[in-house]
Copies of this chain bind each other. A is one copy, B any other.
Amino acid sequence: MSAPDAGPVPASPAPPLAGVLAVVGVGLIGGSFAAAMRQAGAAGTILGAGRQPQTLARAQRLGLIDEAVTLEEAASRADLILLSVPVGATGAVLARMAPHLRSGTLLTDAGSTKADVARAARQALGDRIAQFIPGHPIAGAEATGPEAARNDLYQGRTVVLTPLPENRESDRLLLRRAWEACGAHVVSMQPEAHDAALASVSHMPHFLASVFMGQVAAATDSGQRMALAGTGFRDFTRIAAGSPEMWRDVFLANRKAVLDELAEFREALDRAEQSLRDEDGQSLYDFLERAALARRFWGSRSRL
């Protein structure tokens, strides 16, 4: 019984976006999502699943997850599931989870390619495909493992969602809100457009940095060379330290778009090399100036 002159009944806190959140693969990306969702009060219980029991135990000790569970338990208990696994493993993980999923559960992923992930999800989930929204948080670091997870990793970063025609509007909105709760800026696009853009600005830098690093390391005098390497070398090659497994999967998954970019890069390389061969200072200057202006313009607008 409430007295008529009492103030307004205090609103009970809004329920979390995900009563039960499950993260498959609790490394940098998955662990940071768990930490950011918890920090925002956007997740109730957080479950962790993955291949390595030791990794799950470390994630639990770090407070990233409340419980380590199997893929099947994650599927049957969670309201929202983020897959953070090498893109080549997406289909197999979803196939194991599919029979245990509740109809209200929403799944997404964090893979660096999206067309192949959408295909693999369709095959694994069949008529449950509406429950899966492909996604890609554009954030990362050379550090890996749950120890590298940070609740601010997604602050100010872009997350691309590539919704499928079958997805429900309410689910798209929920997923957008979840990423926004982590501090991210969310954009939507077609999977193929995502893959073409990322082939250019993410996969190509990794490919080229790795080719270059391998070439330097294979030189007979690599020790002397690398003793004279400075901060330019350090930054240019930083990404080459990344996970070979993850990146092999990315290149295979986005092979066609990366090969297209490589062809374009080779044309530009041919022109620049010809200018150098010809000792054509003006043409070299023009090429370097275009690149410098483009990079400075990008740097002045980027939030990174």
A binding-site residues for B, Cβ under 8 Å: 138-141, 157-158, 160, 187, 193-194, 196-198, 200-202, 204-219, 221-222, 224-245, 247-248, 251-252, 255, 258-259, 261-262, 264-265, 267-269, 272-273, 276-277, 279, 281, 284-285, 287-292, 294-296, 298-299, 302, 304
Given A268-B215, A272-B207, A276-B251, is A232 in contact with B239 using a C-beta cutoff of 8 Å? yes
Q: Determine how close the nearest CB of chain B comes to the CB of A249; give it in whole angstroms.
A: 8
Establish whether residues A244 and B210, one from each chain, have CB atoms under 8 Å apart when the complex forms.
no
Establish whether residues A231 and B294, one from each chain, have CB atoms under 8 Å apart when the complex forms.
no
Instruction: Give the copy number.
Output: 2
Complex Cα distance A227/B217, Å? 33
Establish whether residues A243 and B292, one from each chain, have CB atoms under 8 Å apart when the complex forms.
yes
For chain A, what secondary structure do more than half of its interface residues adopt (helix, strand, loop), or is it mixed? Answer: helix
Chain B residue numbers with a CB within 8 Å of A288 are 210, 244, 247-248
Complex Cα distance A258/B197, Å? 30
Q: Determine how close the nearest CB of chain B comes to the CB of A166; give it in whole angstroms.
A: 24
Among the listed B139, B200, B218, B267, which residue makes an inter-chain contact with A216, where contact means beta carbons less than 8 Å apart?
A: B200
Establish whether residues A240 and B295, one from each chain, have CB atoms under 8 Å apart when the complex forms.
yes
Establish whether residues A236 and B215, one from each chain, have CB atoms under 8 Å apart when the complex forms.
no
Among the listed B210, B226, B230, which residue makes an inter-chain contact with A139, where contact means beta carbons less than 8 Å apart?
A: B230
Establish whether residues A245 and B291, one from each chain, have CB atoms under 8 Å apart when the complex forms.
no
Chain B residue numbers with a CB within 8 Å of A290 are 214, 217-218
Q: Determine how close the nearest CB of chain B comes to the CB of A226; give it in whole angstroms.
A: 5
Chain B residue numbers with a CB within 8 Å of A207 are 272, 276
Establish whether residues B292 and A211, one from each chain, have CB atoms under 8 Å apart when the complex forms.
no
Given A230-B140, A239-B232, is A213 in contact with B294 using a C-beta cutoff of 8 Å? yes
Nearest opposing residue in chain B for A219, CB measure: B200
Establish whether residues B232 and A202, one from each chain, have CB atoms under 8 Å apart when the complex forms.
yes
Chain B residue numbers with a CB within 8 Å of A229 are 138, 201-202, 298, 302, 304
Q: Determine how close the nearest CB of chain B comes to the CB of A301; give it in whole angstroms.
A: 8
Q: Determine how close the nearest CB of chain B comes to the CB of A260; give it in whole angstroms.
A: 11
Complex Cα distance A224/B201, Å? 10
Q: Can you sample 28 A-B contacts with CB below 8 Å?
A: A138-B229, A139-B230, A140-B231, A158-B230, A194-B228, A200-B219, A201-B226, A201-B229, A205-B232, A205-B236, A208-B236, A209-B236, A210-B287, A210-B292, A211-B268, A211-B287, A211-B291, A215-B268, A217-B294, A219-B264, A222-B294, A236-B236, A236-B239, A241-B296, A244-B289, A248-B288, A255-B279, A258-B276
